[in-house]
Amino acid sequence: MLTIEIAAALILLVGLLIYAMVRSYLDRTRTHLPGRAERAARILVVDDDPDFLNITKRILVNHGHEVHTASSGAEALKAMRGSSVKPDVVLLDIMMDYITDGLDVSNAMQRDPHLKSIPVIMITSLTGVKSHELFPSDQRVAVSAWLNKPVKPSELLNAVQKTLTGVTEGVPVGVPAVS
């Protein structure tokens, strides 16, 4: 009877040891997966398209980020100026409530001492030749990167990671809004 109890205890100990080894291995490999965020970031995604918000949020959350959303520039500024959201980076659509909503939000952020240091990744579906006529040619906007819709998940994650690590994609502060 004593040998059965000892054998059961040994089997339990070996099982726990194997579990601990597998768990340790999975934890180590999980933090080194390609495309995984170096650190969790708080990201504010601002877009009036609920599908874009949901898909973008899902991608970013699946890569370890804390994501907040806003469906307009006014809502984004209110959240950032209030105590609810102080993001590490803002993903900002250009056209929302009105045609230059995103540009106006970026400019308002630059004028606000509490928001000025937050990097902005500007997102737009305006890539055609005719779209440049909609914006003032001399308007400047401070951005870390530009992304065109539809945004590939790999491009989104790459732009976010580069922005978080301070590596911009060759877009200096004060680039023309549209070239």
Average pLDDT, the chain: 78
pLDDT of 71 strictly over 90: yes
Domain boundaries, the chain: 1-32, 42-176
pLDDT tens-digit series, residues 75-125: 999 999 987 778 999 999 988 888 778 888 998 999 999 999 999 999 988
pLDDT tens-digit series, residues 9-26: 778 777 777 877 777 766
- Structural element, H or E, at residue 7: helix 2-30
Between 58 and 130, the more confident residue is 58
CATH 3.40.50.2300 fits 42-176, yes or no: yes
Cα(154)–Cα(146) distance, integer angstroms: 14
pLDDT tens-digit series, residues 132-174: 445 554 556 678 888 888 899 999 999 999 898 875 544 444 4
What are the distances in angstroms from CA 137 to CA 134, 174, 176? 9, 13, 7
Cα(164)–Cα(166) distance, integer angstroms: 5
